[in-house]
């Protein structure tokens, strides 16, 4: 890591961590809060207390699922926009050729 790295203390699921990263400290804290929230949501959904590693894996899978859903939606949107741009370019080219 570079000399621009920050050391940020965060708390995730009751554990304190010092994170070294080139990102803004607030950004790192927001990520940690998101992971902590997801882990707590998972534990609330389970009937009995689970070991933190199991909760972390389930939370990671949920976060990955959210990521893939957003990526899929973005890919669809990109494809739609590209199709519309292509159609518009054809119309413009036709109009230019008419002149």
Residue whose tokens read 């893939």: 68
Long-range CB contacts for residues 59-64, cutoff 8 Å, separation at least 24: 59/35, 62/38, 63/34, 63/35, 63/38
pLDDT per position as a tens digit, 33-55 = 999 999 999 999 998 989 999 99
Percent of the chain with pLDDT over 70: 96
Using alpha carbons only, what angle is made at residue 18 by residues 63 and 26, rounded to the nearest 5 degrees? 65
- Tell me, what's the pLDDT at 5? 79
Q: Where are the domains of the chain?
A: 6-98
Average pLDDT over residues 74-90: 95
Give the DSSP letter string of the chain. --TT-EEEEEEETTEEEEEEESS-HHHHHHHHHHHHHHHHHHHHHSSS---HHHHHHHHHHHHHHHHHHHHHHHHHHHHHHHHHHHHHHHHHHHHHHH-
């Amino acid at each position: 890591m570079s000399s621009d790295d920050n050391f940020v203390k965060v708390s995730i699921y009751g554990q304190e961590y010092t994170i070294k990263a080139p990102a803004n400290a607030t950004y790192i804290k927001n990520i940690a809060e998101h992971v902590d929230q997801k882990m707590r949501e998972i534990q609330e959904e389970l009937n009995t207390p689970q070991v933190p590693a199991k909760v972390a894996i389930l939370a990671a899978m949920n976060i990955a699922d959210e990521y893939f859903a957003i990526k899929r939606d973005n890919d669809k949107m990109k494809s739609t926009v590209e199709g519309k741009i292509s159609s518009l370019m054809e119309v413009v080219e036709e109009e230019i050729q008419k002149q």
